[in-house]
Chain A
Amino acid sequence: MLEVKQLKVNYGAITALHDVSLRVEKGAIVTLIGGNGAGKTTTLRAISGMLKPKSGQILYEGRDITGVPAHKLVGQGIAHSPEGRMVFANLTVRENLQMGAYLQRDKAVIAREEEFVFATFPRLKEREQQLAGTLSGGEQQMLAIGRALMSQPKCLLLDEPSLGIAPLLVKLIFEKIVELNRTRGLTILLVEQNANLALEISSYGYVLETGRVLLADDAAKLRADPKVRDAYLGG
């Protein structure tokens, strides 16, 4: 479904990604792990069109989408739930969700998707008219995922869903991610600091270090790999 070939991305004079290649099969959950500055977020941003790659190629469903701006990719089924949640703090929960369906003109579809998001995260339904900035971290993360779902994506890029969230809610959110993958057949590319948790729900994983792919293997094998255990899974 998604294939990245020899991706190189620069921030000004600094090269953030040297050479990243990866594949995400349809219906899979694939995870990118690695330390700070490894290039995980940069990879997601390049895929979703928020950054222009220096070189390399990104294929989505066989089409070349390298350098296509973000606002054109959303319509093609790629949704990005950015790091740090980034909900629209001064809009209500409901308005945030509607922003997610920005490209959708059909009101019935919007209503249906809203129903689905509220069914997935009942907490959001309770907070429907509340300003998003007043939600807890976990609730904002639910909202960010819900908002991304509103565009009816085929492929969801999920950046650090566990960042700064109470452990209980992390568990809930990861359960929902798995549920979305199983019931909707949603393909997910997950970036996560909590490598253990991420590999647990993924089928395949990539370990990034300083802008390069260090290791790529089945998630179960990565979890068993002593090098990965030492460096990323806390021994």
Chain B
Amino acid sequence: MVLPKSQLWLVVVLLVAGGVSAFSGRIDPYVLDVAMGVGIAITQASSLNLINGFTGQFSLGHAGFMAVGAYSSAMLTTTLGPKLGVSTAVLQWVLFPASLLLGGLVAALAGLAVGAPSLRLKGDYLAIVTLGFGEIIKVILQNVDAVGGARGLVGIPDYTNLFWTFSVAAVTVYVVWGLLNSTYGRGFLAVADDEVAAEAMGLNTTRYKITAFVVGSFFAGVAGGLYAHLKGYLNPGGFDFNKSIEIVVMVILGGMGRHVGVIIAAIVLVVLNETLRSFGEYRMILYSLLLIVLMLTRPQGLFTWTRRKPSAA
């Protein structure tokens, strides 16, 4: 498997992220920004992979859950932060993670609210419901003045750093991987393979789908919190349908239900998006063309050499 000693890996990633983060002052700010974008993308893609890849559902609303998390987390740090009267370091290392957690929880709650009624639906229907959810969130955010409305939410402190982005990414991958490699987790794969048969085996398929959806939404929300405190500014338009599609593309390109493939795809797409910047207005045309070519030549996903190893137990 990909992570033979998964806990060890998790610790290593956390330590390296912390170590590199301590020297982030010496890194070029642009590279730093892209690197943090990569970390957030890995979190988004891995969490969506649990829903779309492993459990075989099709959510098109991941940006919506990200928005819920981003706004919840930013509202906490911007309103509560200044009133506490403690040092920035305390805010960054205590209040910020708490706000990320809050963002994740609110997003998970939203996931439960959307998922519980709609996961009885299958395939395309779920895609449409989640698509609608994403749009509703965007419109609500645009019209609520308390969060800045269409002007956006400004003045969010820049607490996000390399440590937080890659720690969250590592934890997300760890949780998704751990969830799927448990006896309980094989149920997700069974639901994806054949829902009727899974039901006949005594699995509560609806509960599995909701679990995947809620866990996926949680991490989307945390990613949103990171994004908010990276950009310092939130605009409802940034969480539109295109954003959701971007994450779906990462999952498809990485090979639905592949851990490493999806991580690589997240990295490649973020970096690709940046390298194409020099092409100016032709960027999106080139980006789309590349995606079409990739899909035509590798429809099963770019990175599919890591076949899931059958468990011996």
Contacts and interface: CB of A to CB of B under 8 A. Distances in A.
Nearest to B310: A92
A90 B194 CA distance: 10
B187 A102 contact: yes
A92 to B, nearest CB: 4
A191 interface: no
B183 to A, nearest CB: 8
A24 B155 CA distance: 72
Contacts, number: 75
Interface string B193-227: 11011111111110000000000000000000000
A86 B197 contact: yes
Contacts of B201: 74, 99-100, 102, 147, 151
Interface string B73-107: 00000000000000000000000000000000000
A130 to B, nearest CB: 9
B200 A81 contact: yes
B50 interface: no
B311 interface: yes
Contact of A87 (B197, B204, B308): B197
Contact of B198 (A81, A95, A98, A99): A99
A102 B188 CA distance: 12
Task: Tell me if B's interface is mostly helix, strand, loop or mixed.
Answer: helix
A103 interface: yes
Interface residues of B, number: 21
Interface string A67-86: 00111111100011110001
Interface string A145-171: 001100100000000000000000000
B194 A87 contact: yes
B190 interface: yes
Given A98-B186, A99-B186, A102-B187, A90 B308 contact: yes
Contacts of B308: 90
B310 A86 contact: no
B249 to A, nearest CB: 22
Interface string A4-32: 00000000000000000000000000000
Given A70-B200, A86-B200, A89-B193, 19 more contacts: A50-B199, A71-B203, A74-B200, A82-B196, A86-B194, A86-B197, A87-B194, A87-B197, A88-B189, A88-B190, A88-B197, A92-B310, A99-B190, A99-B201, A100-B201, A102-B187, A129-B310, A144-B197, A151-B201
Interface of B: 183, 186-187, 189-190, 192-194, 196-205, 308, 310-311
18 contacts: A48-B200, A50-B196, A50-B199, A70-B199, A74-B202, A82-B197, A86-B194, A87-B197, A88-B189, A89-B193, A89-B194, A90-B192, A91-B189, A91-B310, A95-B310, A99-B201, A102-B187, A102-B202
